[in-house]
Amino acid sequence: MESLKPSSRSRNYGMDILKFLAMVYVIMIHTYNAGGIYYASHGLNKVAAASALAFVTVATDTFALITGYVSYSDTSRPFNRKKVFDMWLQVVFYGLAVTIACLFIIPEKVGPTDFFTACLPVFNDEYWYFTAFFLVNLVSPLVLAAVRHVPETALRKIVVITVLLFSFYATFVAGKEKIIFQQSFALILILYFLGASIKKCRIGEKIPAYRLWLTIVICVVLTVTWHLLVPEITVGRAEWHYYQLHDNTSPTVVIPAICYVIIFSRIKAGEKLQKISSFFAPCVFAAYLLNTHPLIYNEILILKFSPLARINPLLAFLIAAVFSVAFVVAACLIDKIRLVLYKLFRINKLVDLLVRVSDRIIQAVSGRI
């Protein structure tokens, strides 16, 4: 790995690689949680399962940081409404496709409501990350403009203060109000801002890679130790519990996620790796949409991996990892088929029409204000 100064004009293939890895981590989290490995484990296997979860829990934070990082540029760019409509139609496509497939696989679990929620994912919060990410996209021009115009010295201080309040305070001091950060628009917005700030300020560029990896390991150890030793207690307004450092706002999750972004931003990919990463990276979101579809997550995936809780924990981890990689690869290939179908049925024309209509609506509304 070589240190490279991020360029707003060139593609950072390290971020593409990290995006793929983060999605693999997402699938592993679901395999251990909904899949049942963690909850069916006992004794040392429970410790191993908790350690595996501590290792991959950075996935959501990392994904949001990546989005902010790659979105930032030193010069302003027009808001890409086409990207927003593309994203919405992609979610609707997979929502309907999976619901129709489940109509044949588990017909007793599928009802009219499932089709309705698939068509209006944001309004029904069918995918919490997409809902939050969709809203962040709408305000992203304001966030990027703020990052662009704040002097670097001041921005570094803001980053430190943000991490202290968003992570340390929310985890160890705040009471029930910290829920505003968990699986929410506020969580993704703050991480998006941090990702953009990391790129502008080149935060961590002088820190050796081994120290960043060591920080990740230390955070995993702290998370597992807390998991094993801390009972459920209340200190003032704060509510502490054994699973607390697995939360998305935990310092032992936020800090490693930042370390991952810094490490992978330095990767200088060869030509073959560039082709592979650029092939898969634009499609990895399909893995999330397929894996977390309510019918798959709550009916098909649930407890299917619990037998792995009774075998060697290292072997269980490897099986979960191989499954997760295979799932992401398969989802990317499926998404390539979706893109072919879009081209065949001229869905891009529909997206262009939606963009033109939205432009006219915005111009009409802004003209009356």
The Cα-based distances of 222 to 50, 153, 230, 245, 253 in angstroms read 12, 31, 11, 8, 10
Q: Looking at residue 5, what is its pLDDT?
A: 41
The Cα-based distances of 89 to 57, 139, 204, 259, 300 in angstroms read 28, 20, 37, 33, 24
CA atoms within 13 A on the CB side of 149: 7
Q: Looking at residue 367, what is its pLDDT?
A: 67
CA angle at 367 for the pair 365 and 369, rounded to the nearest 5°: 75
pLDDT in tens, 132-185: 998 899 899 999 999 999 999 999 999 999 999 888 888 887 655 554 455 688
Q: Looking at residue 2, what is its pLDDT?
A: 35
- Backbone dihedral angles phi then psi of residue 210, each to the nearest 5 degrees: -65, -30
Q: Find tokens 């990767």 and name the residue.
A: 267
**Continuous H helices in the chain:** 13-32, 44-56, 59-71, 81-105, 112-119, 121-124, 128-149, 152-163, 170-172, 185-201, 209-229, 251-265, 271-280, 285-291, 294-295, 313-344, 347-368
CA angle at 178 for the pair 169 and 38, rounded to the nearest 5°: 100
Integer Cα distance of 299 and 294 in angstroms: 8
Integer Cα distance of 350 and 336 in angstroms: 19
pLDDT in tens, 35-83: 999 999 999 999 999 999 999 999 999 999 999 999 999 998 888 888 8
Q: How many CB atoms lie within 10 A of CB 128?
A: 16
* Torsion sign (Cα): 303, 308, 314, 318: negative
What is this structure's pTM?
0.91
270 close to 1: Cβ distance less than 8 angstroms: no
CB within 8 A of 136, min separation 6: which ones?
Answer: 67, 143, 185, 188, 189, 192
From the list 196, 215, 187, the residue with the least C-alpha distance to 265 is: 196
Per-residue DSSP letter, 206 = T
Which tokens in the block code for residue 330?
């398969």
Which tokens in the block code for residue 75?
């010069």
Integer Cα distance of 208 and 77 in angstroms: 33
Per-residue DSSP letter, 232 = S
The end-to-end CA distance of the chain, in Å, is: 52
Which tokens in the block code for residue 89?
């139609």
Integer Cα distance of 128 and 183 in angstroms: 7
Residues of the chain with pLDDT under 50: 1-9, 179-180
Q: Looking at residue 239, what is its pLDDT?
A: 66
From the list 25, 30, 99, the residue with the least C-alpha distance to 62 is: 25
Q: Looking at residue 62, what is its pLDDT?
A: 98
Integer Cα distance of 240 and 231 in angstroms: 8
